[in-house]
Amino acid sequence: MNWRRGLMLAGINLVVAIPLISLLESKEAESLRIREQATAKAERDGAGKPPDLATIKSTESAGSSVEQSVSFDPCLMWVHYPVQAVVEQAATYPSLVFTGWRMNCPPRWSLAAKMRADVEWVPTIASEAALNAARRTVDRMFLVVLFVQWLLVGSFPLVHPRKLWLEPGVFITLCTTVAAAFALFSVAAESSQ
């Protein structure tokens, strides 16, 4: 049992995860701000007014069409995760399983599903703000579980190789650090364009 080594690995993984999560949260806050501004502009321009009920009924009676609905299950479609989420999800699978962090279709028993932080599209600004708050809560819990995970992995190593970097916990932490650096550089390059 080596608590100092466990604290070191847990600290390194937290230092890597915090900027990635902060970047995701800032993008969500920016998206909400843009949506609020667009809604306010539409209301000022008068575009936010619903159409008159008589207009809707006359349009419906003019063309007799059969209504059909199509349902999409987001769990059965291809999903594009942000690069920051991919790095953390690949590096901390046990934490991901318990929290369902940033998964589109987490298990029903996970923290993300319980907090309703698994919604892909929200109809109103208030529901998007509530979703962002739930995601921030899940982010904080993910960081706690991540810290505990790496504290245990570092404190109780499975193997003791001669070279430190050959131990799985150190190797995964090293790879995560390099991947996070590439992720942050790619995001910085995207934002500068």
pLDDT in tens, 108-156: 888 888 888 877 777 788 888 888 999 999 999 999 999 999 999 888 8
Count Cβ atoms below 10 Å from residue 75 Cβ, excluding itself. 12
pLDDT in the model for residue 145 = 94
Dihedral over Cα of 98, 103, 109, 110: its sign: positive
In this predicted structure, the answer to whether residue 100 has a pLDDT above a threshold of 60 is yes
Start-to-end CA span in the chain (Å): 48
Q: Structural domain boundaries of the chain?
A: 3-38+82-98+136-192
Note the residue count of the chain: 193
Amino acid at site 136: R
Whole-angstrom distance, CA of residue 137 vs CA of residue 116: 11
pLDDT in tens, 55-76: 555 555 555 556 677 766 667 6
Dihedral over Cα of 145, 151, 154, 155: its sign: negative
44 pLDDT band (50/70/90 cuts)?
confident
pLDDT in tens, 146-181: 999 999 988 888 787 777 777 888 888 999 999 999
Q: Using the 8-state DSSP alphabet, how is residue 65 labeled?
A: -
